[in-house]
Structure 1
Amino acid sequence: MGFSRLRYAMVGVTLLALVLGVAATGAARSGKDAPSGGAGERRVVERVLHRMSLEEKVGQMFVTYAYGDSVEDTDPEMVAANREAHGVDNFRQLIERYHLGGIIYFAWSGNVENPHQIAGLSNGIQRAALGSGAGVPMLISTDQEQGVVVRVDEPATQFPGSMALGAGRSTDDAYTAAAITGEELRAIGINQNFAPVADVNVNTRNPVIGVRSFGSDPDLVSGMTVAQVNGYQRQNVAATAKHFPGHGDTDVDSHTGLPVINHSREELEEIDLPPFQAAIDEGVDSVMTAHIVVPALDDSGRPATLSRPILTGLLRREMGFDGVIVTDSLGMAGVRQQFGDERVPVEAIKAGADMLLMPPDLDLAYNAVLDAVKSGEIKKHRIDESVRRILILKLRRGLFQNPYVDESKVDEVVGIEEHHAAADAISNRTVTLIKNDASLLPLRQNTGAKVLITGAGGYPGSPADGAERSTLNSFATAMEEFGVETEVYETGTNPDASRRSTAVAKAQNSDLVVVTTNKAWTSGNQQQLVKDLLATGRPVIVAGIRDPYDIAYFTEAQTYLATYSYKPVSMEALARVLFGAVDPTGKLPVTIPTADDPNAVLYPYGHGLSY
């Protein structure tokens, strides 16, 4: 037996010995019994902690990405990208050099090609982690919020996302969506989801949250958040409530700027904090910080990620959270305005963070934390506190018991017919009919009518974008099942005069027009397209396939629905609602204000028509 294989075998024996007597900790838990851990858990964790070097402990506090579809991907482009990003060739070298506690998957880094590939990558990462350093299994995370934020796409089961679930009002549906998502993630080796979003979206011009939130009512958001925490964690996937202390009332994107939340302490306790408190009370494994300034909580101008009064004072001491605090990406502009990249991770730890997500220069960040410990700026016991929480989380999610997945059984879990049926049923209950003034709906079936489907697709970009084609083509296919003839003409999210005129010409030769909008409240050209189509005199149905607020910018439209999502599962549900195969039961989970006054109500929270 070679040295590396012998070492791996010895590590496996060590881990097995550690979990003897505490195997039950690997069982799925909601987390209500999670905060401080039992005696068996503490013994396991202390043994692992005791054998770790300082370098290994600090490494456990970092989570980042690597390029490639396997742990030792040799594709020249992937190797070059890894060298530029981290100075290594692949995942294995990255893990061995920095003793990472977590890896995060993205589509842009080539990690999520298909379920079998993902499962193989996850197993390779776990083998690399267990075969190096202290032999601690890896947290493998992603952002699978569903709806508009998805990293693992089809054939994995897709759901319409948070605001759509808010429109459906069913915590049972929210739980089911999370449980199915969690089951499929765990089957491919992803054991931590950076979801659910616990932000209360009370700002209709919020550029970064919007439909990622369950809605604008704290009670609704709290109930949905709790349901999804349980759904994920009962599948042994760590849930993450984000973005603390609440990113719902901002018109600045923290990816590109530093938002300021000017809520009073009373408003924070009434609006923003309840969903996080509900998640904490339910035993959520982790909470993600927001790069937002909240003067009522900390008047220093520091974003929450770097604020000790917010993370330690409020989240830890007042709200009683003893799980893992993970930062949002440290590469975002909102956290990089006051300190250099070498200081940000140090300040985050001093504030109370446990895991540091995606620093822009991992080597700089890692060594900055090491230097801060060696100089005494950060005490060793402070590092131990964070690593202890991380190890407890890993133990509770069964990673010490068995971090691997059975690659031969992926197809028995991911995207199975039962899961798709559940997604369809849930999506049917989310579509909201906001306006039916012309009594155009429900449409008659089997008429052979010619229907033009036009407008924006799923993602910003040109009409040639494959994702946009998928959005409207899937809708057209679903419409044709009801006996109509369709023509699809993409205009994109910023249709110029030429594309608008072409759409108008096609509309004049159609019996019915369905125009989809995607954040038209930010696009004058989308607004003009809708108005031009309405001026043709043809029957026009407008469907907001992302933010429901678009109707305020073309109130002359007589028929308007909201799906809150452009995923095919939502577009198919929209077709069923249009033809009356499904009664629209969704209710607005937000208030829609008028276009010129955010305080004037156009359609109230809870509005929704039915047939």
Structure 2
Amino acid sequence: MTSTSFKGVHKTLHFKIFTHSLTSIAIILLLYNHTSAQLNGKTKDQQPLLGYRTAKILTVNGLKFKDLNKNGRLDRYEDWRLSNEERSQDLLSKMSLEEKVGFMLISTTRLKNDWSFEAPKNKEPITSDFNEEDLVTTTNMFTHKSLPVPIMTAAGTTKAVTQFHLRHFILRANVSARILAEWGNKLQALCESDGLGIPAIVASNPRNHITKDASIGLSVGKTAFSTWPGELGLSAMRDLGLVREFANIARQEWAATGLRKGYMYMADLSTEPRWQRIEGTFGENAEWVAKMTTEIVIGFQGAKLNPTSVALTTKHFPGGGAGEGGQDPHFEWGKYETFPGGMFENNLIPFKAAIKAGTSSIMPYYSVPKDTKYEKIAYAYNKVVIRDLLRDKLGFEGIINSDTGPIEMMPWGAENLSITERYKRTLEAGVNLYSGTADPAKLLETVKSGLVNRKLIDESVHKLLIEKFALGLFENPYVDEEAAERIAGNAKFQERASLAMRKSIVLLRNETKVLPLKPRTKVYFETYLQRKGIPSPGNIYSANADNYNVQFVNKPEEADVILLWITPGTKSLFESDGSPLYLSLSKNAVDVGYVNSLTAKKPTILAINYTNPWVIDEIYNDAMKSNIKGVLATFGTSTDALLDVVTGKFNPTGKMPFTTPVSEKAVQTQKTDVPGYMEGPNYGLFQYDEGLSYE
């Protein structure tokens, strides 16, 4: 037995692990390396690893079980020999209505001193201790003139667990692997000590990507985990094997730190090029996005959800990439999704793949559909879309998890309904798990009032319990904190991520075979990124030329070749104000005059970082492009990766995940639901799937 004391939970708790003859670390590492087939192939009497702090251990016929409800006997839900179905039904019968309702909320939670949605209020370091504030209401994330209600709440962790009965949490803090693991273990210990001993599940947005728009609710950005190209970059690799390897590596990192649920990935199509969430998609081609989605789901979950899986929440059903004017339904001015091309069904192709691959959960978006046969109400309220289409027609049997705040924040089409009426409508539509509030009072009021059939509550809780049992959380929700540090972001994982960064780069033009650069070429390398008109510091690159067999110079006049890497500075999604969206560079923080004066000085290699399908005709047209000898596309990668490609250390193989429009006029007149490669022969400058190699 091993025992470690922790503070911060009302009383001292102890971590005891039943180990047989193996050490705890060896068992954990063994579990990480097991395949799904090995785990699912265990016999009903094969003793699993039990992780516990306060629960007593029962011995039955020589086998060990956790007495989670502390009644001194083995209940069916505590018996790991039984099926997940049997265990779920037994636990459901023991839960009070209050426990069931709390179980249907997934709330943002915070660490001590982690001001995720606010400016820091002190300078104390973030620790793994709980944030013990009572109930925090956040009102600065969105602006809705028509909705004078709180838009997001987060309870102090102890209150959330012991009074609100929450067992689903979203962690948005960007901290070390050790802190993640310590905090998660404390949370699980608290849950184990309370009531029926139901463990928690902790979810997060993506944590493994280089992204320009690292925002609450979108992506955490660069973290302690291995750093991979953005989602568009993964798609541009055109390497499904490496995509699955990415997902499997990320799974190991997440599971090692106690993150067992991913609010990811987006199966949406990038058909509306102005949409500010395109960076999180896999591109515009539905069939290819379906293949990407399949590899992602299997890589994170395995062939079947099991104790080494990270359960995924595929979003945003039935596809959010066709927003009117490119606007996003987080805001009232972006609530409509339009289908002038009649391609609603095209959006479903990646979701069908996710369902076939076994995704644990699907998240409907806030959008209100136009130009369809469906009712003009947000998808979370839309019974025909959720129950008839997603459940009955597509056969999805997993969890339907609302996006954050469809009740209080973005109730598009249901603004005139009361809060209890909104809950009633969404429950009947099929929502099982609600994101955006920590306080179950209104949902409980809805159920107690008799407005809805309580069978809907039991159906939802049953599905949520099945997921927890499948993930093995009832047997061992704890992680090894030292192992978490070793696993997350280790050199072997980062080596594979670095390969992905290079494979994600697309070579689009190579006039006179200027690339790869010849040895001893004098290169002026500038990375161009402006934020609100202020150039970023240190944008002239200088390094040891021996690494690349070229010479870096500090002035363009001294160079043989200029390498200019532009990252357009579009507004973040949550800086949106409803004004029209454009894709031309001058509308996205690029000083076109400066760029043109620079490229006129010497032969230029132009690299563009694409978070959207930028229009580059202001700097690359018949009058100006004669001096631009090469063009590359990046999608969130490293400087080293780009230099490896331009100097020939790595042969580019990437392909474009979307079509880039030839002009702003083409952007403004395209059909929101039609992929760029189907918009016609005069639409694209760089075509979908275009990409060159040196060989």
Q: Pick the TM interval, shorter chain.
A: 0.7 to 0.9
- The structural deviation recorded for 1:436 is 2.2
* Residue 589 of structure 1: aligned partner: 657
* Residue 317 of structure 2: aligned partner: 244
Question: In structure 1, how many angstroms separate the alpha carbons of the residues matched to 2:543 and 2:330?
Answer: 36
* Residue 464 of structure 2: aligned partner: 390
Q: 3-state SS of the aligned residue for 1:562? A: strand
Q: Is 1:216 aligned to residue 284 of structure 2? A: yes
Question: In structure 1, how many angstroms separate the alpha carbons of the residues matched to 2:498 and 2:292?
Answer: 19
Question: In structure 2, how many angstroms separate the alpha carbons of the residues matched to 1:188 and 1:289?
Answer: 28
* Residue 350 of structure 1: aligned partner: 428
Question: In structure 1, how many angstroms separate the alpha carbons of the residues matched to 2:382 and 2:543?
Answer: 51
- The structural deviation recorded for 1:487 is 7.4
Question: In structure 2, how many angstroms separate the alpha carbons of the residues matched to 1:415 and 1:69?
Answer: 24
The structure 2 residue matched to 1:9, chosen from 39, 55, 63, is 55
**8 Å CA contact 1:66, 1:82 repeated in 2:** no
Question: In structure 2, how many angstroms separate the alpha carbons of the residues matched to 1:19 and 1:530?
Answer: 67
* Residue 409 of structure 1: aligned partner: 483
Question: In structure 1, how many angstroms separate the alpha carbons of the residues matched to 2:526 and 2:556?
Answer: 9
Letter in 1 for 2:613: Y
Question: In structure 2, how many angstroms separate the alpha carbons of the residues matched to 1:513 and 1:88?
Answer: 47
Query: Cα 1:3–1:164, aligned 2, differ >3 Å: closer, same or farther?
Result: closer
**8 Å CA contact 2:315, 2:365 repeated in 1:** yes
**8 Å CA contact 2:272, 2:321 repeated in 1:** yes
Query: Cα 1:130–1:342, aligned 2, differ >3 Å: closer, same or farther?
Result: farther
* Residue 324 of structure 1: aligned partner: 399
Matches within 5 A, 1:154-233: 154-208=223-277, 210-233=278-301
Question: In structure 1, how many angstroms separate the alpha carbons of the residues matched to 2:652 and 2:592?
Answer: 27
What TM-score results when the alignment is normalised by the length of structure 2? 0.73
Query: Cα 1:446–1:187, aligned 2, differ >3 Å: closer, same or farther?
Result: farther
What TM-score results when the alignment is normalised by the length of structure 1? 0.82
* Residue 199 of structure 2: aligned partner: 137
Letter in 1 for 2:568: N
- The structural deviation recorded for 1:88 is 7.9
Q: Is 1:255 aligned to residue 324 of structure 2? A: no
Question: In structure 1, how many angstroms separate the alpha carbons of the residues matched to 2:112 and 2:11?
Answer: 26
Matches within 5 A, 1:48-67: 48-67=91-110
Q: Which has the higher strand share?
A: 2
Of 226-235 and 544-553, deviating more is: 544-553
Between structure 1 and structure 2, the one with the greater Rg is: 2
**8 Å CA contact 2:374, 2:385 repeated in 1:** no
* Residue 414 of structure 2: aligned partner: 338
Letter in 2 for 1:318: K
Matches within 5 A, 1:477-556: 481-484=547-550, 486=552, 507-508=556-557, 510-511=559-560, 512-518=562-568, 521=583, 523-524=585-586, 525-526=589-590, 528=592, 531-534=595-598, 536-547=600-611, 549-550=613-614, 552-553=616-617, 554-556=619-621
Question: In structure 2, how many angstroms separate the alpha carbons of the residues matched to 1:378 and 1:393?
Answer: 24
**8 Å CA contact 2:339, 2:372 repeated in 1:** no
Matches within 5 A, 1:464-475: none
Letter in 2 for 1:95: V
**8 Å CA contact 1:508, 1:536 repeated in 2:** no
* Residue 366 of structure 2: aligned partner: 291
Query: Cα 1:83–1:214, aligned 2, differ >3 Å: closer, same or farther?
Result: closer
Letter in 2 for 1:397: L
CA offsets 1:459-497 (integer angstroms, 9 cap, x no match) = x557587xx97xx69x86597731455579xxxxxxxxx
| Number of aligned residues | 557
- The structural deviation recorded for 1:17 is 5.6
Query: Cα 1:263–1:548, aligned 2, differ >3 Å: closer, same or farther?
Result: closer
- The structural deviation recorded for 1:423 is 0.7
Question: In structure 2, how many angstroms separate the alpha carbons of the residues matched to 1:480 and 1:247?
Answer: 47
Question: In structure 2, how many angstroms separate the alpha carbons of the residues matched to 1:479 and 1:529?
Answer: 30
Letter in 1 for 2:368: V
Question: In structure 1, how many angstroms separate the alpha carbons of the residues matched to 2:359 and 2:394?
Answer: 13
Question: In structure 2, how many angstroms separate the alpha carbons of the residues matched to 1:87 and 1:302?
Answer: 24
Q: 3-state SS of the aligned residue for 1:549? A: coil
- The structural deviation recorded for 1:223 is 0.5
Q: Which has the higher helix share?
A: 1
* Residue 446 of structure 2: aligned partner: 372
Letter in 1 for 2:497: A
The structure 2 residue matched to 1:125, chosen from 165, 184, 187, is 187
- The structural deviation recorded for 1:510 is 4.9
Question: In structure 1, how many angstroms separate the alpha carbons of the residues matched to 2:182 and 2:166?
Answer: 19
- The structural deviation recorded for 1:225 is 0.1
- The structural deviation recorded for 1:89 is 7.2
Question: In structure 2, how many angstroms separate the alpha carbons of the residues matched to 1:49 and 1:479?
Answer: 65
**8 Å CA contact 2:360, 2:398 repeated in 1:** yes
**8 Å CA contact 2:270, 2:283 repeated in 1:** yes
Question: In structure 1, how many angstroms separate the alpha carbons of the residues matched to 2:56 and 2:367?
Answer: 46
Provide structure 2 residue ranges, at least 5 long, that are not aligned to the other structure.
15-52, 58-65, 123-130, 139-151, 212-217, 303-307, 571-582, 668-678
CA offsets 1:4-32 (integer angstroms, 9 cap, x no match) = 86994259423786566546xxxxxxxxx
- The structural deviation recorded for 1:102 is 1.0
Question: In structure 1, how many angstroms separate the alpha carbons of the residues matched to 2:13 and 2:224?
Answer: 35
Query: Cα 1:298–1:392, aligned 2, differ >3 Å: closer, same or farther?
Result: farther
CA offsets 1:550-580 (integer angstroms, 9 cap, x no match) = 3533323432211111x43xx3221111111
Q: 3-state SS of the aligned residue for 1:542? A: strand
Question: In structure 1, how many angstroms separate the alpha carbons of the residues matched to 2:205 and 2:169?
Answer: 12
Question: In structure 1, how many angstroms separate the alpha carbons of the residues matched to 2:411 and 2:593?
Answer: 38
Q: 3-state SS of the aligned residue for 2:431? A: coil
* Residue 606 of structure 1: aligned partner: 689
**8 Å CA contact 1:147, 1:161 repeated in 2:** yes
Query: Cα 1:560–1:405, aligned 2, differ >3 Å: closer, same or farther?
Result: same
**8 Å CA contact 1:70, 1:117 repeated in 2:** no
Q: 3-state SS of the aligned residue for 2:109? A: coil
Question: In structure 1, how many angstroms separate the alpha carbons of the residues matched to 2:418 and 2:220?
Answer: 27
Letter in 2 for 1:118: L
Letter in 1 for 2:344: L
